[in-house]
Amino acid sequence: MSVIILLLIASLSVALIFLGAFIWSVRNKQFDDDYAPPRRILFDDKPSTTPTTKTNPTNQ
């Protein structure tokens, strides 16, 4: 029967890890803004180096 106790300890510690992760993520403000992060990941880190149009010098 001691194997059940062993399994219980194992499953509970996994569960507690997830509870800890949840508490951390709430404290880390991950639930505050649900719009920006999924879009932010799609943006390129660096803007394209060449302007899309030929800017003529007088515009500058």
Q: Residues interacting with other proteins, by CB under 8 A?
A: 1, 4-5, 8, 12, 15, 18-19, 22-23, 26-27, 29, 31-36, 39-40, 43-44, 46-55, 59-60
Question: What angle is formed at CA 34 by the lines to CA 28 and CA 37, rounded to 5 degrees?
Answer: 80
Question: Among residues 10 and 15, whose Cβ is nearest to other proteins?
Answer: 15
Question: What angle is formed at CA 33 by the lines to CA 29 and CA 37, rounded to 5 degrees?
Answer: 100
Question: Among residues 10 and 55, whose Cβ is nearest to other proteins?
Answer: 55
Nearest approach in angstroms of CB 10 to other proteins is 13
Please provide residue 33's backbone torsions phi and psi, each rounded to the nearest 5 degrees.
-130, 110
